[in-house]
Amino acid sequence: MLLPAKRPASYLLGFLLIILVVLVVWMDHTLTSPEIQDAIRKKRESQPAQSPVDPVMTNDVQPRGGAAVNALDPMHQAMADELHAETTTPERDLEIIRDFVSIYSRASGGNPVGANADITAALTGTQYPGQKGHFFPRGHSAVRSGQLVDRWGSPYWFHPNSSSQMEIRSAGPDRQLFTGDDHVLNPSPSGLGVTAPAAP
């Protein structure tokens, strides 16, 4: 009587399965060992902490590696740092805001429109989901509750005089708009906005 021929393929598969089980058990034991966990923790602690990237917007730069990195233009950051500084005046604050509006206008083909919150969203790149690029840092102390505020904490008042010029008004120390201590840049022409008509 003849014995059936041995099947080397089944033996080979069994042997490979045993090796696989041994590797899985060894890796599980190795990766969960206290020594390995301690070494991983020490390696993480020794690496310098990476500063978070401003998700705010920004001018998105596409590096060769792929993912976009957000970085505010250094010139824009320097301008923003000057806003509300002790060495600047309220009039200079208005000029800085005007310059940011002008930069936005040149980049997008027109002034931002709407109330303070809309203009702030346009400058900080939060106007709509997925907006790419921003000109003003979102975390700046002059942005409160989604609005640009003056050095006394009152929201700036914006009024378009034309497609290229905008009245920008600070309520001043009394925090009341349209009073004698307001600071105004590009006041509306006579009879427009809040500017009273000129006397005959």
Q: For 84-106, what is each residue's pLDDT tens digit?
A: 999 999 999 999 999 999 999 88
**pLDDT recorded at residue 58:** 40
150 Cβ contact partners less than 8 Å away, ≥ 6 residues apart: 84, 90, 93, 142, 156, 170, 171, 172, 183
Q: Which residue has tokens 């001018």?
A: 59
Print the domain residue range for 147.
Answer: 68-185
Residue 92 and residue 77: Cα distance in Å, rounded?
A: 16
Angle at 63 between CA 103 and CA 78, to 5 degrees: 35
CATH of the domain at 99: 3.30.700
Q: Is residue 13 part of a domain?
A: no
Q: Is residue 62 part of a domain?
A: no
Q: Kindly give the parts of the chain with pLDDT less than 50.
A: 50-69, 199
Report which of 108, 140, 131, 122 is spatially closest to residue 60, judged by C-alpha positions.
131
Residue 69: other Cβ atoms inside 10 A: 13
**pLDDT recorded at residue 154:** 97
Q: Is residue 82 part of a domain?
A: yes
Residue 134 and residue 73: Cα distance in Å, rounded?
A: 9
Q: Give the tokens for residue 6.
A: 């041995």
Report which of 195, 160, 189, 185 is spatially closest to residue 97, judged by C-alpha positions.
185
Q: Give me the number of domains the chain comprises.
A: 1
Q: Is residue 156 part of a domain?
A: yes
Taking each helix axis from N to C terminus, what angle separates 74-82 and 90-108, rounded to the nearest 10 degrees? Answer: 150
Q: Is residue 41 part of a domain?
A: no
**pLDDT recorded at residue 114:** 92
SS3 185: strand
Q: Is residue 2 part of a domain?
A: no
